[in-house]
Amino acid sequence: MARRRAAAALLLVAALGGCAITPATIGGGPPEPWATPLAAEVDELRSYVDARLESMTLEQKISSLIMVHVGGTEPGPMRRHIERHGLAGVILMGDNVRSVRQVADLTSKLSSDPGLPVLTAIDQEGGVVRRLPDTFPAALQLRGRRASATEAAFRARAELVAEAGVTINFGIVADVTGNRGSFIFARTLGDTAKDAAPRVAAAVEGENGLVWSTLKHFPGHGSVAGDSHVSVPTTGMSLSEWRRTQAAPFQAGIDAGADFVMLGHLRYSAVDSRPASQSATWVGILREELGFDGVVVSDDMTMLERSGEAAYAKQTTNAVRAVGAGTDLLLYVGPVDVRKVVRAVAGAVRDGRIPEATVDAAARRLMELRRGMSEESGPFIHCGAACREFTE
């Protein structure tokens, strides 16, 4: 926690001084008493976020929890889609990429408000999962090598992602499996939690200061048979066994400073009958037991709709359950009706199924992160109807 607060303070110092910004996590809690100048800067961030959230409707706050994919390489359609819905940002896939330079040009043109830049994300694991041209060693090549090799590979990969102007890498697989027949085997950093944990930590350390790191797919895809792209893989593993065999790489990555944790569409039936991506129990374990205070992001929500299970066939129901469980950022790679999703979640807040404080907390985490990317400082000024009247 202290590491996150220090990172936040350093980021704010750079922003207020007009220096170049690199991604870092914005943490909560009061600064140390001796850090008086930093206290003022942290207060400035909080004041900005407080004022901005106060100016937003419930629907606007919910929209700010959504990240989507927009096809193509032109910034115009992507920016218009973000602005129309007030989205958190976009995930870039293969159809958005021609070259690193082209992606850098694209990402530089997506934010209409320099005081609150949009988030951009990419899956850049290396190896079989990459969007940008990437020849650095990936998980399969790093499994038998020292952790320092993983740190170097992920630092080089993060430099590539940062060069493309992308702020979040959904790139560190903290799952473990020794099953060579598993579809995820080639993407994991070890057969066992003990093997993988130091490499996962090293991957986060390599990315620190360059991009925001993401651990996936919590609570662990390697322990379940099946592919969550087309099903809801299920295991009867107990919580105690999970702690012994799956938790360590996630804990190591969190301790190393990971900024995001991605929830998998995975069912540990002895812990919760719902997939982890809709489970308040698993989010509670992540927050309280593993001590994660960053952003919880879902895996692609449209995967649930393709699972073949009737309980997860409805996009709006899935969104309500995920937000209610404590997911901060809903990720949609496949088609999504943003307006319907927002209306459904807002309805759940208004009828008491989701506390409004849950939405506010998620919106705050994401807004602090986005504001920290900005080189602007100062209060948020919202003059409402008076401004609209002046411009009409």
**Residues carrying an active site annotation:** 229, 299
The torsion region of residue 308 among left (phi > 0), alpha (psi -120 to 50) and beta comes to left
Q: What share of the chain is helix, strand, coil (3-state, %, to 5)?
A: 50, 10, 40
Distance CA 320, CA 300 (A): 15
Sign of CA dihedral 273, 267, 89, 74: negative
Q: Rg (Cα) of the chain, in Å, rounded?
A: 20
Cis ω for the linkage preceding 217 (within 30 of 0): yes
Which residue's entry shows tokens 């099903």? 231
Apex 202 CA angle, 149 and 103, nearest 5: 85
Helix (H, G, I), strand (E, B) or coil at 332: strand
The tokens for 211 are 């991009």
Helices 147-163 and 100-107, axial angle in degrees (round to 10): 60
Distance CA 229, CA 333 (A): 11
Spatial CB neighbours of 298, under 8 Å, sequence gap ≥ 6: 262, 263, 277, 322, 327, 329, 330, 331
DSSP track, 367-380: HHHHHHH-S--S--
CB 117 within 8 A of CB 374: yes
Distance CA 313, CA 106 (A): 34
Helix (H) or strand (E) holding 42: helix 36-55
